Structures are given as structure tokens and as C-alpha cells.
Structure 1
Amino acid sequence: MGVPYRKLFGLPGVTAQAVLGFLAQLTQQVAPVGIVLVVQASSGSLVLAGLAAAAFAIGAGMARPVQGRAIDRRGPRGVLAVSALAHVTALIAVVAGAGAGWPGWTIVALAWTAGAGLPPVSVTMRVELGARLATEGRTAAYSLVYLVQELAMLTGPLLLGVLIALASASLALGVVAVAAGAGTLAFSRALRVTGPSRSAGRGRVFRHLGMRLLLVVMVLLGGAIGALDVGVPALAAARGIPAATGLLVAALSLGGVAGAAVYGARRWTAAPARRLTGLLLVFGLALGPLVLVSALPLFWVVLFAGGLMLNPALTTTSLLVDELAPGAQAEAFGWVSTAASVGAAAGSGVAGVVGQEFGPSMPFLVAAGFAGLGAALSTLLLGPTGRP
């Protein structure tokens, strides 16, 4: 463990926040997967299951800025408690409603509510650690936030699979939802910074041109991620081994975990804007060769290398939020999440069309293109646009 991490974990409460934040975020990846399994098994309709999963994602994207603004103005504890209650209740209602044969629109509305109530744990962790650490310590702090989130997104589906094997998809989703809700409440009690931002109400997310530019860069980065979400399973299916999808997705996630750990373990002298440009450029260059790679083991290695750049890039966007949206960081973090979600939807759509027309390897060129455009646009942050 590098010196920055040792200092970070030396702060009171940080270890507890990391452990409880991991538990609280288990449903982030489990909920959409579990909703699809439960709704399809109960209704027999994959269309309804897909609509419910899409509603969950839309709800989460719409709610993040609203939750962030509430955190800036009132502090995180109340927001976490209300969102956890809404999230868990709605997920349990989806399970009950699907089993009871409730109308499809009701299931979709409940899924949207579950997404809108997804607790803003990672946003809260960034605000909490940012308020307690000087600028030089925030690279490690924000790397830890993404590391915890990535581990939860890796572990959650595995836990769901075990519980499904032991019982059923409905029970599994309910158990994970309750555990995540309890983890959220415990996480909120472990926070040390519980009041509103010192300048809440004076900061404006969109006041600075650099912040607006950063959100566009996040749309492009999200587009790269969305294209990968389409490209990986499409390629595995085209090779006749769809089961390899899980291993290939894990390569990107494991690369993200390793990248976050390494990135936060050392001190950086380059400005965040310069780092972001370099990381996005290397991320795009790493994805480009996937169009030509045929051997799946080598494909796994290249995806892992791409993941090494991905989480550090996301960490660096958080550092730029601190500079460009002082006094409104939580809301700004929420808009960053929303921008990434919008970009992922766009990237998935473009990659699907391109893959259908030109072959299953082409979505990776789409992903590289989105990342390259993000790198090019981020260079504007190196000048006066990127200065608060």
C-alpha cells in the first residue's frame, strides 16, 4: 500500500466507510439484473423485463443531480435514509408485484422508483473525503471511492447467483436489497461530515464553462463504456461461446480495480486536466486494436489494459469537479453520473447499429472513437476554460 493510502486509512472512519459503502452498493449491478430475471420468470415477457431494467437506469440517471443538490444543501444523512427506504421498498414491491401478476406499467413504475432511490453512496463518499482531505490527498481518496464501487459491482452479481442457486431469483433480489439498505443506513452513521456544504447555495454547477465541457467529455467517456457493453457479448456470441462474456467483462472490471489501486497509490505532479487527456487518449488507443484481435486470451489482456485507464480517468473527473464546481460538488458529481449514463445509452445504440452493419468487432472501434473524441475535447480544459 502506497503512502497516500496509508494516510487515507489512518483517518478515523475511512475503513468503516469503505466496508459499509461496499455493502451499500451491492444492488447497483444486482438490481437491473435481478429485475430482468424476476420479471421475465414471472411474466414470461422479456420485453417487459427489458423495459423495467431501462426504467431503473433512467430513474437513477434522473435522480442523481437532485440527490446531489439535496446533499449540498442539507447534508447526506437524510438523503441516504430516504433513498435507501425508497430503493429497498420499490425492489421488494417489484418482486411482489411480478409474482402477483400486477399490470406491466406498475412494474415499470416501481423499477423507475427503485432506480431513482438508488442511494448516492459514491457521491457521498467523494464529498465526505474531499471535505476532509487537502487537494494532494484526493487522488487516493477518489480512487478508493471507485475501487469500492467496482468491487461491489463485481461481487454483487456473484452473490446474486449463489442465492439464486440456493433459493430463487425473487428471494435473492430481496435479500441483497435488504442487505444493501441496511449497509446504507450504517454507512450514513459512519460519516464524519454530515452538514451541508459550507458554500451550499452559492455554488452553481453550470456557471463555469469548464464544468459544462467536462460533462460533455463524460458523455463521450460513457459512450465508450456503452459501446463496450454491446461489443463484448456480441463478439462472444459471434465466436459461438457466449459464456465467455462474463470473463471478458470481468477483464475490464479487474483492470479498473487494479488501475484505481495503482493510481491512488502514488503522488502526481501533473494537473488533473492534463492527466485526464492522457488517460482518455491511452484508453482509446488500448481499445482500437480490439478490432484486429482474434484470440480471446489476448482479447482479455487488451480489455484488462483498457480497464487500467478507465477508473483513473473517472477519478480524475472527480478532481476536476472540485476545481470547477466549488460549493456544489455533490450536485456536480450527480450530473457527472447522469452524463456518463446518457453517453452509455448513446454508445450502446451506435455500437449496435455499427456492429449489425459491419461486423461484431466494429463496436470496439466505436468505443475507441468515443474515447478519442473525449481526449481531444478535454484538451480545452488545459487552457483558460479549465481554470476556476
Structure 2
Amino acid sequence: MQNPYSEIFHAPGTKGFATAGFIARLPIAMAPIGIVAMLSQTNGEYWLAGALSATYALANAFVAPQISRLVDRLGQTRIVVPTTIISVLAFVVLIAAANRHWPIWTLFASALLAAAMPSIPAMVRARWTEIFRDRPGLNTAFAFESAADELVYIAGASLSVGLSVALFPEAGMLVSTLFLALGSTAFILQRSTEPRVRPTEHGSHGSAIRLRPVQIITFALIFIGATFATTEVSTVAITKELGQPGAASLIIGVYALGSFVLGIVIGALNLRMPLQRQLAIAIAIIALTTLPLLVADTVPLLALAVFVSGVAISPTFITAFGLIERRVPEAMLTEGVTWVTTGIGIGMALGSFAAGAVVDAFGAQSGFFVSVAAGAIALATVLIGQRSLGAPDCDFAGCEAAAVPAE
């Protein structure tokens, strides 16, 4: 039996854009934590570092879908080039402002402009879809991308903090900016795999967020993002309370490892079950596996519980992006994928805030109650939305008929 992952890379150009896309997306994980690491050392004020990182993350969450909508209308090259230039220059100004102790407003202004960074994961998935549309290889490609996302969050955050601590405060942000510039340039230079611009004359002029499947999946993944952000915050708090703070990074790595392994396995299979049911099962597993976290009161138990709770994350993302590919018009694909990834980012930000507040008020172990609540809401969302998610595969007219105003 042939390796399905090697088969998808037989298509011309796939190795090149996948490699470039991986490098270009490292700043997704490196930049937010890099801002915190940089500002906490140069200014010594954690509130400022956190506020600046949150400003950048939330601004990017708002702007990225709009940029991706333009990508769908005008093509990747025409939009990625100017937005990447804006983002790179803004990051350079941010680094200089932190190093030279410029006024605080310059930090926030540059962080807002840096949020113009385009959604590379969405554009990479759009290229895979262009190559493998309506073929089994697309599920494998999406699984590969979910695994790549896991590696980005494992390696990116650790690399950013490690560089800032080992070399100088701005090192993590500097390397992140270089990755963005070089990776995006390499990605865009590969024009042969760039998706062609789809026509919009058949009623697909609105935003993808007006489509009910995009609303359901994005809303559900906000709470999925909150579950694993809460797990990370609570893990740090518990290991500190147990007197073993150094174990936090290992346990968080185990969390991502569980997701990575099962994602690779799922991608190698050609499951026949409808995607909306696969999504419901994956989220049900996430919701149920948050419960053991409430009683994990030692480091070994916590590591085991965290590993188990992470196994369904990649399968959730694989099926979510698969549903977007089938339920969104081709002319809206990049924007649709970006809304989902944006939902994850928003959930992580809100989950971190909520978990931090609960931990401060009720203790380290209590932070996992946020994970339980978030998992339950995500599961209820996809169960209620099964009919909409199971609608016939999308064409322009069909999707437009299913579109409703965002509430």
C-alpha cells in the first residue's frame, strides 16, 4: 500500500508551495508570544506586552477575512504582495520602537498595521483544493496542513521565546519577520499552483460569513480554540502550584503531540462517513475528554489527561476545513477558510482571558471548567447545525440560496 502523503506530493509544485507556506505561517505562532517576550524585557511591563499582543491578534482576526475576500476576487499575488510588505514594515517599526523606547502610541500603531499579515494557511489550502478538488487526496492534504499547523504552534512559540531569552529581546520578533518576508516571497513566486480567480457573476458577491455553514463552523471553532487555550493556561498554573513549573512546556508539547499523531492517521484513511457527522464525533470527543482534566492533580496524571484531550483537535480541523471546501462557493474559498481560522484565534484569545480570570479567582484546577463549558457549547452548536452542514455540496446558486445575514 502506497503512502497517501507521498502521493499528494507527486503533483507538480506541491513540495514548493507547502514548504514556503510552512515558513511563511511560522509568524502566526511566533509574533503574538514574541511581542510579549520582547516588551516584557525592553519595557518590563507585562500589562503593556499583553495589551499589545492582544491588539495585534484581534486586529488580525478582524482584517484577515477581509484580505482573503480580496484574494478570492483578485488573486493571491495581487493581494499578498502589498499586504505582506505593509506587515513586514510595520513589524520592523514595532521592533525599533521597542528597542529605542519610542512613545507607546507608536507600538500600538505599528501592531495594528502589522495585522495586515495575510492568512497563509487559507491560501495554502486553496492551492491544495485547486489540485485535488473532488478527489480523495484532498482529505490527506488537509490532514497534512493540520499537522503542519500543529508543528507551527509547537515550534514557533518555543523558538520565538527561546531566541528572545538566549540572544536579545527583539530576536524572536526579528526572526519571525524574516520568516514572513522570505516565506511569503517564496510562496508567491510559485505562480504555477496559484488558484485561478473564479467568476462572481452568479450571486457570490457577498461575504462568506453570510453562509450558514460558515457561521456554524466558525462559531463552534471559537469554543474549540478556547478549550486548548484554556488547557495551556491552566497547565501553566497547575504545574506552578505543584512546584514543577518546568513541566508546563513538556505537558503542552504532549497536548499537541496527541493531536498531531491522530491527525496524521486520519489523513491516511478514506473515511466514508459524512463530514458533518465526523465533525460532531470529533467535537464530542473533545468535549468528553475535558472532564478528566478536572481531577488531574499530579504532573503525570495531568500529562496523560492533556494528551487524551488533545487527540481530536486535528481531526476536528480536518473535517471543518473539508466541510468549508464543500459548502462554500469556489469564489469564496479562501475567505471561508480564513473565517474558520479566525474563529480559532478569537477563541484562543477569549479562552486565555477567561481561564486566567477563573484561575485567579478560584484556583489553578478551576481553569479547566472553562474548557468543559466551551466544549459543551461547541458540541451543541454542531449538533444543532447538522442539517445545514449536511446540505448538498455547494455551487454558486445553491450556496447563495442558503446564505443568511450574519446575526
Shorter-chain TM-score bucket reads: over 0.9
Query: What is the TM-score with the length of structure 2 in the denominator?
Result: 0.88
Shift of the 200–122 alpha-carbon distance from structure 1 to 2, 3 Å rule, reads farther
Residue in 1 that maps onto 2:221: 218
C-alpha contact 2:73 2:198 (8 A) present in aligned 1: no
Question: 1:220: Cα distance to partner?
Answer: 2.0
Unaligned runs of 5+ in 1: none
Shift of the 191–270 alpha-carbon distance from structure 1 to 2, 3 Å rule, reads farther
C-alpha contact 1:223 1:347 (8 A) present in aligned 2: yes
Q: Give 3-state SS (helix, strand or coil) of 1:39's partner.
A: helix
Q: Which amino acid aligns with 2:159?
A: L
Which one of 302, 323, 326 corresponds to residue 299 of structure 1?
302
Residue in 2 that maps onto 1:371: 375
C-alpha contact 2:30 2:172 (8 A) present in aligned 1: no
Superposition pairs for residues 233-312 of structure 1, below 5 Å? 233-312=236-315
Q: Distance in 1 between matches of 2:141 and 2:175?
A: 30
The runs of at least 4 aligned residues of structure 1 exceeding 4 Å deviation read none
Q: Distance in 1 between matches of 2:112 and 2:339?
A: 18
Shift of the 282–2 alpha-carbon distance from structure 1 to 2, 3 Å rule, reads farther
Question: 1:166: Cα distance to partner?
Answer: 5.5
Q: Distance in 1 between matches of 2:254 and 2:376?
A: 21
Given the alignment of the two structures, is residue 47 of structure 1 paired with residue 42 of structure 2, yes or no?
A: no
Q: Which amino acid aligns with 1:170?
A: E
Q: Which amino acid aligns with 2:21?
A: G
C-alpha contact 1:35 1:49 (8 A) present in aligned 2: yes
Q: Which amino acid aligns with 2:275?
A: P
**Comparing 364-373 and 186-195, the one that deviates more:** 186-195
Question: 1:264: Cα distance to partner?
Answer: 0.7
Which one of 351, 360, 363 corresponds to residue 364 of structure 2?
360
Q: Which amino acid aligns with 1:277?
A: A
Aligned length: 387
Per-residue CA deviation, residues 177-215 of structure 1 (Å, 9 max, x unaligned), is: 113311111012235343554244643414432332222
Shift of the 353–168 alpha-carbon distance from structure 1 to 2, 3 Å rule, reads closer
Shift of the 335–172 alpha-carbon distance from structure 1 to 2, 3 Å rule, reads closer
C-alpha contact 2:241 2:364 (8 A) present in aligned 1: yes
Unaligned runs of 5+ in 2: 393-407
C-alpha contact 2:214 2:339 (8 A) present in aligned 1: no
C-alpha contact 1:129 1:138 (8 A) present in aligned 2: yes
C-alpha contact 1:276 1:375 (8 A) present in aligned 2: no
**Comparing 189-198 and 362-371, the one that deviates more:** 189-198
Superposition pairs for residues 174-193 of structure 1, below 5 Å? 174-193=174-193
Residue in 2 that maps onto 1:160: 160
C-alpha contact 1:222 1:343 (8 A) present in aligned 2: yes
Q: Distance in 1 between matches of 2:358 and 2:159?
A: 34
Q: Distance in 2 between matches of 1:352 and 1:166?
A: 27
Question: 1:165: Cα distance to partner?
Answer: 5.7
Q: Distance in 2 between matches of 1:22 and 1:330?
A: 17
Per-residue CA deviation, residues 15-52 of structure 1 (Å, 9 max, x unaligned), is: 22222222112222211222122222222322221111
C-alpha contact 1:291 1:365 (8 A) present in aligned 2: yes
Query: What is the TM-score with the length of structure 1 in the denominator?
Result: 0.92
Given the alignment of the two structures, is residue 21 of structure 1 paired with residue 21 of structure 2, yes or no?
A: yes
Given the alignment of the two structures, is residue 382 of structure 1 paired with residue 382 of structure 2, yes or no?
A: no
C-alpha contact 2:214 2:340 (8 A) present in aligned 1: no
